[in-house]
Structure 1
Amino acid sequence: MTIYPQNQTIKNVERLADLVTQPSLANAWWPGAVISEKQATAVAEQQHQKLLASLSALAAGEDGDDAAAINGVRQQMQAVHVTGRQFVDLDPDWVRVHPRANVPLQGDYSLWAGVQPATITLVGLVSSPGAKPFVAGRSADEYLDGIDKLSGADRSFAWVIYPDGKTQKAPVAYWNNRHVELTPGSILFVGFKERLLNSDFEQMNQQILHSLTHRRPD
């Protein structure tokens, strides 16, 4: 078992409680921690490479602003490192109190457990992707104020990917606006708008969401 970002190796970790109660993890920010398994990582990396190839093929079938926007998304996703995330609750108190949550760790695992970030990350068909300061109470649509959306972008909805891997579709247009707050470390993804008679773009959104939920913390 390897723990990042300390790059610490620990042994004799048979169950989840043995891991999350390690003294070296006393200050870990558990809502954003990620545990991954080696074989699952190989699968996630294959799926991520397939996504990058699909984006290249999609861009090749478009021209002008549409092609440029798709290639921009591909560049963003190329910088994302994925891992074989296991969707389990890592909160030590929860694991201690609920025996079913104390699952056995059979395999080759890694854990990313850093400190709470002070940013959110904007991804997708936007003019200025990247880290933005987290502001308590700010909703998805407010993070998008003043951000230009690129050709082919969905202007009615965006996706919030929370640090624990859960996702929520957030209405962000003036006609459907609903207050959906982000938490520190969240990702706000502006995807492709759905197009009649062409499901490629909706499938692409789902593939990108999959990679973002399996993103390895920085």
Structure 2
Amino acid sequence: MTAGLLLGACLLSNASHSNAAVAVTGEVSNPVSVAYTPGMRLLDVISKAEPYPNDYWLAAVWMHLPLLEQQTRLKVGVLFDLKLLQRGALLNNNAALATLAESLHGYVSRLPVTGRKIADLDPVKLEVSFAHNYLLSDGDHVIYPPRVDRVTVVGAVPKICSVPYQAMQEARDYLDHCPRLREADADFLWLIYPDGTYKQVPIAAWNRKDGVYAVAGSTILVPVRNNIPDLPTPDLNEQLAQFLATQLLAEVAP
């Protein structure tokens, strides 16, 4: 078995573990772990937990077991592409890019596969919108985090930065506090919101889009300049942003 397949097998094995219940924890009045029954929906357990009304529901996370395998494969693919990028950089005598690829590989390796499913976990909205009151699976876990007044910058930067959140500040302006490496793509960044959504943001003089703001708890991915000829990793930055969007806020542990 190759190293990539072995890693995938190990991650899938870990991902298949079930907690045999549905849990709601974090900033709630009554953390609960409820025995799963078929047909159970989000509001059935969230209403028992009673999330605090003034906390940061935007960043709440639903870890949905059926998504673990898909996200495991996404992580393995990102790690594989980072290894390809590192080897391609070495073959092209670009030591700085090879070092960045190796550093990002280590960073991604340490991130968990969460199974996060994008959903509005505002209990009030769930009460009035049956269409968003999704069915649960055995072993699912919902976490309501405390509010975080920081924005995190990762990717093609010397080190991960945690920058104070400023209301109505353009996403690109957070890079003033976390300078990019020469190996960064200077034309775009990826903005990852705490609700698990993400988008590419043009930031260069020729393509700049104004009015794109980070919110508290956002992550900004500074993409890698991925322009080595014949290297089959054109989607690396987008897939890395997609995987980062599955993560919980750094202050939250499942």
Partner letter of residue 103 of structure 1? Y
1:88 aligned to which of 106, 112, 119: 119
Identical residues among aligned pairs (%)? 24
Q: Which residue of 1 aligns with 2:34?
A: 10
**C-alpha separation between the residues in 2 aligned to 1:156 and 1:39?**
36
The Cα shift of 1:200 comes to 3.4
**C-alpha separation between the residues in 2 aligned to 1:108 and 1:94?**
23
Contact kept, 8 Å, 2:161 with 2:178, in 1: the verdict is: no
**C-alpha separation between the residues in 2 aligned to 1:135 and 1:175?**
26
Please give the secondary structure, in 1, of the residue aligned with 2:125. helix
Quick check: 135-144 or 101-110, which moved more?
101-110
Q: Tell me the TM-score normalized by structure 2.
A: 0.76
Please give the secondary structure, in 1, of the residue aligned with 2:191. strand
Quick check: 108-117 or 141-150, which moved more?
141-150
Q: Which residue of 1 aligns with 2:223?
A: 191
Q: Which residue of 1 aligns with 2:13?
A: none
The Cα shift of 1:198 comes to 4.2
1:182 aligned to which of 214, 223, 227: 214
1:172 aligned to which of 190, 193, 203: 203
Q: How many residues align?
A: 218
RMSD of aligned residue pairs (Cα, Å): 2.4
**C-alpha separation between the residues in 2 aligned to 1:174 and 1:160?**
18
Q: What runs of 5+ residues in structure 2 fail to find an aligned partner? A: 1-21
Partner letter of residue 50 of structure 1? G
Contact kept, 8 Å, 2:36 with 2:138, in 1: the verdict is: no
Q: Which residue of 2 aligns with 1:45?
A: 72
Mapped pair 1:124 → 2:155: yes
2:99 aligned to which of 61, 68, 71: 68
Query: Larger Cα Rg: Structure 1 or Structure 2?
Result: 2
Partner letter of residue 3 of structure 1? V
Structure 1 residues 131, 10: CA separation in 2 closer, same or farther (over 3 Å shift)? farther
Q: Deviations over 1:156-176 (max 9, x none)?
A: 110101011111222222333
Q: What runs of 5+ residues in structure 1 fail to find an aligned partner? A: none
